[in-house]
């Protein structure tokens, strides 16, 4: 789904899943070695493999400088990026209570910093997407699969929280569905009030047109 954000797009890939997404052509960008690539028409998707948490800091520095051609960025996945952050804090040692507190502060700061790139004064991003897996908590709520209090605070930081699932259509084919309105024990949200409660075959660029209107896109 992150492959449907406005292009030129940046995928921050902590899991290696971008190898199998359909958008072509792709370009690999190492933020530790070079400036962001120019939008010369030879690529639609730039991919940065996130091997450690320092990579995230460097990417943010480039994006926050405004010296880039990206229209959107996706973090895939925040679940794995949080693990990279914990690795940087405690390594292979058992995390202490102090480590967990540091992890929450760093991850909340990261989410808010990337979110705020949509309000950048000179080169705002059109979309910032945080991808996570999900988990059922001890009270039966299906939430983002992140550690600690971030699973509670994350939904408050963003405008839309969607739960993706699959559905067998009448013709027998499998379709992806995205629920963005609270239902049952699923944590969902649409602050804009402009999206359908359940979106078939979700496409983020189309969703943004529903939210902002085509005249504001591009």
Cis? peptide before 73, omega within 30° of 0: no
**How many residues are given for the chain?**
218
Q: What's residue 218's pLDDT?
A: 47
The separation between the first and the last C-alpha atoms of the chain, rounded to the nearest angstrom, is 19
Q: What's residue 26's pLDDT?
A: 93
196-216 burial string, b = 16+ CB within 10 Å, else e?
eebbeebebbebbbebeeeee
Q: Tell the residue number behind the tokens 């960025």, with chain if given.
A: 73
Distance CA 131, CA 153 (A): 15
Question: What average pLDDT values come out for the chain (218 residues) when binned by 10 residues?
Answer: 95 93 92 96 95 97 98 97 96 94 97 98 98 93 93 96 91 92 95 96 96 67
Q: What tokens does 48 get?
A: 């940065």
CA neighbor of 145 nearest in space, from 83, 54, 90: 83
C-alpha distances out from residue 90 to 29, 49, 54, 102, 159, Å: 28, 22, 15, 10, 32
Total-model pTM = 0.93
Q: Which residues pair with 178 in a beta bridge?
A: 164, 199
Distance CA 25, CA 22 (A): 9
Q: What's residue 214's pLDDT?
A: 63
DSSP-assigned letters across all residues of the chain = -GGGSPSSEEEEESSSGGGG---SSEEE--TTTSPPPP--SS-SEEEEE--SHHHHHHHHHHHHHT----SEEEEETHHHHHHHHHHHHHTTSPPPHHHHHHHHHHHHHHHHHHHGGGG-SSS--SEEEEE--EEE-TTS-EEE--STTHHHHHHHHSSEE-EEEEEE-TTS-EEEEEE-S-BTTB--EETTS-S-SEEES--HHHHHHHHH-GGG--
Q: What's residue 170's pLDDT?
A: 80
């Amino acid at each position: 789904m992150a492959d449907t954000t406005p292009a030129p797009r940046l995928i921050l890939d902590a899991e290696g899943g971008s190898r199998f997404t359909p958008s072509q052509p792709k370009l690999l960008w190492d933020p530790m070695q070079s400036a962001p690539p120019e939008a010369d028409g030879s690529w639609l998707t730039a991919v940065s493999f996130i091997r450690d948490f320092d990579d995230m800091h460097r990417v943010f520095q480039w994006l926050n400088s405004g010296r880039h051609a990206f229209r959107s960025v996706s973090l895939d996945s925040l679940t794995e990026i949080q693990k990279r952050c914990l690795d940087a804090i405690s390594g292979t040692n058992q995390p202490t209570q102090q480590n967990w507190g540091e992890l929450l502060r760093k991850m909340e700061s990261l989410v808010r910093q990337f979110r705020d790139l949509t309000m950048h004064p000179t080169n705002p991003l059109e979309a910032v997407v945080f991808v996570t897996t999900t988990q059922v908590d001890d009270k039966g709520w299906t939430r983002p699969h992140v550690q600690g209090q971030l699973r509670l605070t994350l939904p408050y930081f963003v405008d839309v929280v969607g739960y993706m699932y699959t559905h067998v259509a009448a013709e027998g084919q499998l379709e992806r569905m995205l629920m963005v309105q609270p239902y049952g024990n699923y944590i969902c949200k649409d602050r804009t009030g402009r999206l359908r409660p359940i979106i078939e075959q979700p496409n983020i660029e189309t969703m943004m047109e529903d939210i902002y209107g085509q005249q504001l896109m591009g």
